[in-house]
């Protein structure tokens, strides 16, 4: 007569607690990565005492060599309106944040505003341009 043991040992590892830990770490890194938004291009922004907060959809940079960048991608001045139109096509009233170095002449800033106004005129949209500034001392 063979006597069988009722309590068998199961050699398995329960992965439920490990997957919970992985999801918690994933959520933590997703939240902290959205809080940090470094500038792609180093600029000395003009200073201002006023604060304007807006949800930015597209960012345009103008560095001290007067080069245009559309979200880290260099764009020629002649193709600025077409590139902006391609970025803004899915928005009805987007906000374009203009980050311009303080040594850049006003004409370069006005060319970005003109490009947005041209897109608004063509498409009938209501896109806005906000000039980014640094806090005044």
**CA dist., res. 67 & res. 89, Å (int):** 23
Name the pTM for this structure.
Answer: 0.61
pLDDT score of 25 = 92
In this predicted model, what pLDDT tens digit does every residue of 17-32 receive, in sequence order? 888 889 999 998 888 7
Helix intervals (H) in 10-133 = 16-35, 80-88, 106-123
Phi, psi of 9 (to 5 degrees): -85, 130
Residues in the chain: 137
- Extract the residue ranges of the chain whose pLDDT is less than 50: none
The third-level CATH classification (topology) of the domain covering 47-135 is Nucleotidyltransferase; domain 5 (3.30.420)
Bridge-partner residues for 58, per DSSP?
96
- Other beta carbons within 10 angstroms of residue 99's beta carbon come to 20
Within 8 A by CB and 6+ apart from 132, the residues are 45, 97, 98, 99, 100
């Amino acid at each position: 007569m063979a006597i069988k043991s009722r309590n068998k040992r199961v050699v398995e590892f329960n992965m439920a607690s490990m997957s919970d830990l992985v999801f918690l770490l994933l959520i933590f890194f997703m939240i902290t990565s959205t809080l940090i938004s470094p500038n792609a291009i180093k600029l000395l922004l003009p200073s201002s005492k006023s604060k304007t907060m807006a949800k930015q959809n597209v960012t345009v940079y103008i560095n001290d060599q007067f080069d245009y960048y559309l979200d880290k991608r260099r764009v020629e001045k002649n193709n600025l309106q077409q590139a902006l139109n391609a970025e803004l096509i899915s928005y009805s009233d987007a906000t374009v944040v203009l980050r311009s170095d303080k040594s850049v002449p006003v004409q370069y800033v006005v060319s970005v505003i003109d490009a947005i106004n041209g897109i608004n005129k063509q498409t009938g949209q209501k896109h806005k341009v906000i000039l980014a500034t640094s806090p005044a001392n």
